[in-house]
Amino acid sequence: MAVSFDLTGKTAIVTGANTGLGQAISVALAQAGADVALVGRSSMADTEAAVGAAGGRSLSIQADLSTLEPVDRIISETVAWTGRADILVNNAGIIRRADAIDFTEADWDAVMDVNLKTVFFLSQAFARRLIGEGKGGKIVNIASLLSFQGGIRIPSYTASKSGLAGLTRLLACEWAAKGINVNAIAPGYFSTNNTEALRNDPDRNSAILGRIPAGHWGQPEELGGAAVFLASPAADYIHGIVLPVDGGWLAR
């Protein structure tokens, strides 16, 4: 049997799809044949156009992921569109920067809510539907190098992404036998809104660049292949991994 990365006939849900890594993942999934539900709080116009240009179909779902309000609606609106939901990419995430000694409760809660709490309950809603139908599926969480490392000045972000790695493994253990693959991607340093402050700081920028064996900041398109792989039949026996896509950062 030929190895298949084909997602034709599948429906994917991507959170935070309006920009950055979520946009690139949405386009890559569409190029592999999936219909893509674009979830977020901002206009999806750019991503809709990019998915269309790639020959794909998309549905935009308005959702503020800082609360659990949209969780069930995201699944039901997706299923009302194509009749199915096969792939969930938990990509939306935020970061707040301050020294640990000064870090506020508000910055702690805001990050944990979007990066961890909503991810868990959206994954639960997605899995309940799949298990109820007796079908398998794929969950791909967007973790971070801060799932492996400590970092500085981002305590809630590191806690959330380290927690997400653990959650990925727990859900994989509970749902693997039900045909649901739960895995994560740990992006290295990619050029998006999330890292704008780092790239604008000449010292941090050159320190980071100097440590990346590939010698350049990741471009969002460089993440798409890993998402397609983990969402595809080629990854059917892969459960609970956190796959770095980091230009060699962790190998250094």
Q: Which of 93, 137, 163, 244 binds ligand NAP (CB under 6 A)?
A: 93
Q: Which of 19, 58, 60, 183 binds ligand NAP (CB under 6 A)?
A: 19
User: Is the four-CA dihedral 224, 152, 99, 154 of positive or negative sign?
Assistant: positive
The window from 2-10, 29-37, 75-83, 189-197 that contacts ligand NAP (CB under 6 A) reads 189-197
Q: Is 4 a binder of ligand NAP (CB under 6 A)? A: no
Q: Please check whether residue 118 is in contact with residue 167, taking contact to mean a CB–CB distance below 8 angstroms.
A: no
- What is the 3-class SS of 100-156, one letter each residue? HHHCCHHHHHHHHHHHHHHHHHHHHHHHHHHHHHCCCEEEEEECCHHHCCCCCCCHH
Per CB under 6 A, which of residues 29..88 are in contact with ligand NAP?
A: 40-42, 63-66
Tokens coding 158: 């590191």
Catalytic residue among 120, 126, 148, 157: 157
157 is catalytic: yes
The window from 45-53, 73-81, 89-97, 199-207 that contacts ligand NAP (CB under 6 A) reads 89-97
Indicate which residues carry an active-site annotation.
157
Q: Where do contacts with ligand NAP occur on this chain (CB under 6 A)?
A: 16, 18-22, 40-42, 63-66, 91-94, 114, 142, 144, 187, 189-190, 192-195
